[in-house]
Amino acid sequence: MSAFPPGPVTFLYADVEGSTRLAHTLGAGWGDVLARIRTLVRDAIAAEGGAVVDARGDEVFAAFDAPEPALRAAEDLQRRVADESWPEPTRVRIRVGLHTGLPMVAEDGYVGVEVHRASRIASAGHGGQVVLSEPTVNLLSDVTVRELGTFRLRDLPQPERLFQLGDAEHPPLRDAVTAEARMKIVIADDSVLLREGIVRLLEESGFEVAAQSGTREDVLRHVSMHKPDVAIVDIRMPPTHTDEGLRAAKEIRERFPDTGVLVLSQYVEPAYAMELLSESAEGVGYLLKDRVSDVDEFAAAVRRVGEGGSALDPTVVSQLVGRRRREDPLEDLSPREREVLELMAEGRSNQAISERMFITPRAVEKHVTSIFQKLRLPASSEDHRRVLAVLTYLRG
Asked if the structure places residue 380 within a domain, the reply is: yes
Do 222 and 337 fall into the same domain?
no
Do 307 and 340 fall into the same domain?
no
Asked if the structure places residue 48 within a domain, the reply is: yes
Do 278 and 343 fall into the same domain?
no
Do 106 and 120 fall into the same domain?
yes
Residue 320 has a CB neighbour count (10 Å cut-off) of: 20
For the segment 261-275, the average pLDDT, to the nearest whole number, is: 81
| Predicted pLDDT at 393 | 55
Do 70 and 170 fall into the same domain?
yes
Do 313 and 326 fall into the same domain?
no
| Domain boundary, last residue among 318, 352, 372 | 318
Do 314 and 341 fall into the same domain?
no
- pLDDT, one tens digit per residue, over 307-329 is 888 888 877 776 665 555 555 66
Asked if the structure places residue 163 within a domain, the reply is: yes
Secondary structure (3-state) at 188: strand
Q: Read off the CATH number of the domain in which 70 is found.
A: 3.30.70.1230
- pLDDT, one tens digit per residue, over 332-341 is 778 888 888 8
Q: Describe the chain by its helix, strand, coil percentages, rounded to 5.
A: 45, 20, 35
Q: Read off the CATH number of the domain in which 351 is found.
A: 1.10.10.10
User: Which of 4-13, 64-73, 213-222, 319-328 bottoms out in mean pLDDT, i.e. has the lowest?
Assistant: 319-328
Do 135 and 196 fall into the same domain?
no
Do 248 and 195 fall into the same domain?
yes
- Specify the higher pLDDT residue, 15 or 319: 15
Assess whether pLDDT exceeds 70 at residue 390.
no
| Predicted pLDDT at 381 | 47
Could you tell me whether strands 260-265 and 230-234 are parallel, antiparallel, or unpaired per DSSP bridges? parallel
Give the domain range for residue 330. Answer: 322-395
Asked if the structure places residue 2 within a domain, the reply is: no
| Domain boundary, last residue among 132, 148, 178 | 178
Q: What is the pTM of this model?
A: 0.57
For the segment 158-170, the average pLDDT, to the nearest whole number, is: 90
Do 147 and 128 fall into the same domain?
yes
Asked if the structure places residue 3 within a domain, the reply is: no
- Specify the higher pLDDT residue, 91 or 396: 91
| Domain boundary, last residue among 258, 285, 318 | 318
Assess whether pLDDT exceeds 60 at residue 48.
yes
Q: Which amino acid is at 116?
A: H
Do 78 and 162 fall into the same domain?
yes
Asked if the structure places residue 313 within a domain, the reply is: yes
For the segment 106-111, the average pLDDT, to the nearest whole number, is: 78
Asked if the structure places residue 267 within a domain, the reply is: yes
DSSP 71-132: HHHHHHHHHHHHHS---TT----EEEEEEEE--EEETTEEESHHHHHHHHHHHTS-TT-EEE
**Number of separate domains in the chain:** 3
Asked if the structure places residue 271 within a domain, the reply is: yes
| Predicted pLDDT at 179 | 61
Do 242 and 381 fall into the same domain?
no
What is the pLDDT confidence band of residue 72, given thresholds at 50, 70 and 90?
A: very high
For the segment 92-103, the average pLDDT, to the nearest whole number, is: 93
